[in-house]
Each structure stands twice: as structure tokens, then as C-alpha cells.
Amino acid sequence: MDVEVKQKTHLVFVYGTLKKSFPNSHLLKDAEYVGEYVTLDQYPLVVGGPWFSPYLLNVCGAGERVFGEVYKVSDHELEDLDQLENVGVNYTRKLLKVEFVESPGRIMEVFAYLKCNYNDDLLKKDYMAKYNDRRYIPRSKRAAYLAQETNLMTSSYKQSQTLESS
């Protein structure tokens, strides 16, 4: 006798590289898109770090109401997102209230990933309501990026040494 195990689903608010047409959107390919939502409270959304990552800082009341997308995900997909966001170290998964953009007043509680381990310099950056930055460097391209940067620095150093010895 086959017993079908029904998976629990979760609503997740994404505001950065997991949104449609962004580099990590493929991680939500099996998730159900619910719609565009905006946080009820204000949060600082900034771009930072060497990979130009979007960070939603865990400081309620500062910043802007942040726009993003809500997806319905399975337990397994939620675990994958927790791993991507390094929950417990770099991010915390927290319940937030969001409002449906197309139907103001329609509010629901969803999970979101908020940066919890950060340098206070991020609070000095410009806050944004909507992430549209395209400079983010996905994990799959970081080794090549570092190699390119190292080559540029080495070339620049060699050039300066040549000029000094002339």
C-alpha cells in the first residue's frame, strides 16, 4: 500500500538575487510564484560586500518598505534556501508581514532572510526600496572573478615596479 506524504508548504519573501531574472532565481524553479509584495515595516536594503550582494538588514523601522516577490516553497526548498543564506551564521529566517502590491490591505505573514552578522558600515550605505542592481557575482563565477582581479593587481604591480626601476 502506497502512502502519499503531503509536504508542508511555506511562504517566502525574496528581495534580491532570488527574484525572477536574477542569478539565483533558478533555485525557485519548482516553487509557486504568489505575487509582488512589499514589507509592511521599513528595513534597510543595501548592496555590499565583494560580491555586491543584496542585504536586508535586521533593523526594523529603518530604511524603506522593501519590494519583493513571494513564493510558496516545500520543506525541502526551504532547507535549500536556508543553506544558501547560511542561516544561523550570516542570516536569520524571520516572519515578516507583507502587503500585496496589486491589492493594498491584503496582508500576510511570510518568511524572509535578514542579514544578522554585518559590519555597521552597511547601515551607512544608501537604502533602497527595490533591488535592481546587476553587479552581483554568483558563487559559480567567483573563482574566475578572483583570478581576474589577481591578474589585474599583479600586472599593475609589475608595471609600477618597471616604472620605478627606469
The residues carrying an active-site annotation are 85
Return the H-helix or E-strand segment holding 139: helix 139-165
Residues 6+ apart with CB under 8 A from 150: none
Cβ–Cβ < 8 Å for 64, 7: no
Amino acid 96 reads L
CA-to-CA distance for 13 and 38, rounded, in angstroms? 9
Rounded to the nearest 10 degrees, how much is the dihedral formed by the CA atoms of 72, 75, 81, 82?
A: 130
